[in-house]
Homo-oligomer: A and B are copies of this chain.
């Protein structure tokens, strides 16, 4: 498939979060019309129509599903919240299988709040838990609980290292090397890793870790968006179009290529300004950036 500009967009994937306000059908139509080869899906849009129907919509548009976002949030301290997380992750695995996504991306969760003040509460009640090492161990434990269920469903779990900016509140897995260490006890077909440029671009060990991910057969997904400054007050939704910021896509794409990755390249941008633009405009912009900053370095 190709746009009128004749770029090869067969490996170009649109993560639906980039046009957050589109329905799944609108997103699939827009991606297909622009010549994309795949879409990456968020669970909210999948759940709106049901996972099986969501899969049919994507296939009818002639697209692959590159991934499903997201499960995880493994770091709860109390048994009740941990149980809720396990149940939700099992549903996410089911949805991934039903929608035809071979992979479920996991955002592992940040430092949880301590239980609220009450009878016998600790002096830290209601304040953030600070034991980062323990939170990271809970990620490993709860991942181990989920792996057999995902294996049965034919879904690979994919750990997403997150920028250290988000260590406190969203993801205590902060580097690709750490994600690979957490994945190590499991088969490569069971637990993989995703390289999201926004999260890992700064890492002095990135080249080595990408090569390691490839050599271990765990390089499951490649997501792109740019680091732009100033950050917005809402740091989570402060990402930029590929090419608008500081990230060296030529170099990182080359590392991913050299690691043997042949899958889709998903553009995933959280940005309130971009969400406010017409879907078609965003989809064309993303494709043009892909063609300029990523595609030349993929082969």
Q: Which residues of A contact B (CB under 8 A)?
A: 111, 128, 130-133, 136, 163-165, 167-169, 174-175, 177-178, 181, 201-204, 227, 229-233, 235, 245-248, 251
Contact = CB atoms under 8 A, between A and B. Distances in A.
Nearest to A235: B231
Given A164-B164, A164-B165, A202-B174, A132 B248 contact: yes
B251 A133 contact: yes
A247 B167 CA distance: 11
A82 to B, nearest CB: 20
Chain A contact surface mostly: loop
Contact of A131 (B111, B168, B229, B248): B248
A271 to B, nearest CB: 16
A180 B204 CA distance: 12
Given A132-B248, A248-B130, A204 B165 contact: no
29 contacts: A111-B246, A128-B245, A128-B246, A130-B246, A130-B248, A131-B248, A131-B251, A132-B202, A132-B248, A133-B251, A163-B164, A163-B165, A164-B165, A164-B202, A165-B165, A165-B231, A167-B202, A167-B246, A168-B202, A168-B227, A169-B229, A174-B204, A178-B204, A181-B204, A230-B233, A230-B235, A231-B231, A231-B235, A233-B233
Contact of A130 (B128, B230, B247): B247
B174 A203 contact: yes
A195 to B, nearest CB: 15
Contacts of A165: 163-165, 231
